[in-house]
Amino acid sequence: MIHTAQKIATTDLPVLILGESGTGKELIAQAIHNASWRQNKPFIAINLASLPETLIESELFGYEEGAFTGAQKAGKPGLFELAIGGTLFLDEIGEISPHIQVKLLRVLEEKEIRRIGGAKIIPIDLRIIAATNQDINKMVKEGSFRRDLYFRICVSPLEIPPLRTRVDDIMELGEYFFSSYNKKNTKITPDTLNLMLAYDWPGNVRELKEIIRFCTQLGEDEHEGFELFNQTLYRLTERATLKSMEEVVESAWESLSAMGNVRDFLAMLQELIQAKKNGERIGRESLQRKLESKGIHLSQQQVRTRLESLQKLGCIKSSSGRRGSFITSEGERLLHYLES
């Protein structure tokens, strides 16, 4: 991806950077600008998702005196004007309305703008780099993003992979950030690396950087900073596991509820975990009797269908014949979630 970005930097093509939040889209945009012949001209960035539509237009195009209530007396140049000769980075371009999409398309085609409330046409010479964390192809198919604008900005697409898929980078980035904040060369221990690899990093590189910054600043020394980092990762991994289990339950909630009271499943899992602690498996008839003793009256068929539902969720495994069922690690997490 970096090699492709280096080649694109030598051209003047518009670029669309794709990637999840926190992967470093603005960093790549800045790097492309710095490696281009426009490097000595302005690099201006705007996050389109952070502004309402009325402000986006005035921020991009500028306005003349008296253009609207609250306008500055002397008017104001927009970011297109301020970026002339350089690069304008439009972050979160997937958030803009169809109205702004039309105006942006016209700028890309005509390479000129007009301030709000003005009559003067201003030619602009700049490079546009856009970025989004949304599925822009899907948006085009659904009609929420203009196809003609997509083809204008997507001449040179760059996709930044999420941190969880860049296993080799996780340790290197971790050591880099620790060394930056500790002001000394830092090596990641195998135990810490295992915790780092077990976590999914939904916030990507930004999340890794901020957690390390927090831990190094809160810890009194390097050792305590590492300990805080390990504890934080352990809690995050545990919370993420519970969250994924919660999502599994929520997605299957209708089918579980349709099969019967959710307390039935809780009671079944409790019996299965007890059987596991005793080194046993539990059959349907035995499970039915144990549930009866708890005041849960189910037929053999009802027990069977509930076990099948749990098996589809990956929470239990059932053997053929009379060898019974046993709870899986996913089932233990589901049990923990339901109990809490």
Task: Note the pLDDT of residue 278.
Answer: 84
Give the DSSP letter of residue 193: H
Give the DSSP letter of residue 96: S
Give the DSSP letter of residue 84: T
Model pLDDT for residues 25-63, shown as the tens digit of each residue:
999 999 999 999 999 999 999 999 888 887 898 899 988
**In the block, residue with structure tokens 């923990």:** 336
In this predicted structure, the answer to whether residue 323 has a pLDDT above a threshold of 60 is: yes
Higher pLDDT, 226 or 65: 226
What number of CA atoms fall less than 13 Å from residue 48's CA on the CB side? 23
Report the pLDDT averaged over residues 191-206.
88
Model pLDDT for residues 299-313, shown as the tens digit of each residue:
888 888 888 888 877
Helix (H, G, I), strand (E, B), or coil: what is residue 134?
coil
Neighbouring CB atoms inside 10 A of 151's CB total 11
**In the block, residue with structure tokens 């980078």:** 169
Task: Note the pLDDT of residue 249.
Answer: 62
Separation between Cα atoms, residue 128 and residue 22, nearest integer Å: 21
Model pLDDT for residues 229-249, shown as the tens digit of each residue:
988 888 888 777 666 666 666
Q: How much is the pTM?
A: 0.69
Bridge-based pairing state of the strands 121-123 and 112-114: antiparallel
Give the DSSP letter of residue 87: E
In this predicted structure, the answer to whether residue 254 has a pLDDT above a threshold of 90 is: no
Report the pLDDT averaged over residues 210-217.
90
